[in-house]
Amino acid sequence: MDCLQGCGIPLSWWKTNATEERACGKCKHHGVFNTTLNRCICKSGYGGKCCNDIDNCADEPCEYGVCADKVNDFSCDCMAFFKGKMCNKMEAWAIALLSLAALAVLLTCCCCFWCIMGTCDRDDEKRKVRPLKEKPRQNPKKDLLVTIGYKGPSSSTHNKRTM
């Protein structure tokens, strides 16, 4: 009653409208009764009509899931790949799947690196520098004369020398 007088709430209104407070008496664990909402507003970690139920999800026990509070218990709705009371254990098939995916990524990176470094589709035998093959020359002087355009001695000049 002291609280009602301190808060300026008429006792007649309280007896008529404050159904939650009448049902549980007083808000437990330092909860505060809200006259507008007509219910207890509980501190973090507590819930229920009179704040007497401990909120088991307040500490977020589900590592990879969503917590659902129950009376003195909780349950977790686990995300894909996870299982267990607190969603902290990975499914065996998920471990295998993630391992294969990591291996595929690693192989892809290695292949890309191999191609970037220039070893992809490279035939070293085709790329070797080989010396040019030269035609064997039978008469190097004749080849030189043909190259400069000399056609040989004319018959008139040749006859003059011999006479």
Report residue 35 as tokens.
């006259």
Total tally of structural domains belonging to the chain: 2
The whole-number pLDDT of residue 124 equals 61
Phi-psi region of 118 (alpha: psi -120 to 50; beta: other; left: phi over 0): left
Does 16 fall in a domain? yes
Beta bridge partner(s), residue 41: 32
Lowest mean pLDDT among 33-42, 98-107, 111-120: 111-120
pTM (2 decimals)?
0.41
The whole-number pLDDT of residue 65 equals 94
DSSP 85-151: TTS-EE-HHHHHHHHHHHHHHHHHHHHHHHHHTT-TT--HHHH---PPPPPPPS-HHHHHHHHHT--
Does 5 fall in a domain? yes
Lowest mean pLDDT among 85-89, 141-145, 158-162: 158-162
Q: Whole domain around residue 99: which residue ranges?
A: 91-118
Does 153 fall in a domain? no
Judgement on whether residues 49 and 1 belong to the same structural domain of the protein:
yes
Confidence of residue 106 (pLDDT cuts 50, 70, 90): very high
Taking CA atoms, 57 is separated from 52, 76, 81, 148, in Å, by 15, 9, 21, 102
The whole-number pLDDT of residue 125 equals 63
pLDDT at 113 over 60: yes
The CA radius of gyration of the chain, in Å to the nearest whole number, is 49
Percent of the chain with pLDDT over 90: 25
The whole-number pLDDT of residue 145 equals 56
Does 15 fall in a domain? yes
pLDDT at 1 over 50: no
Does 160 fall in a domain? no
Does 43 fall in a domain? yes
Does 31 fall in a domain? yes
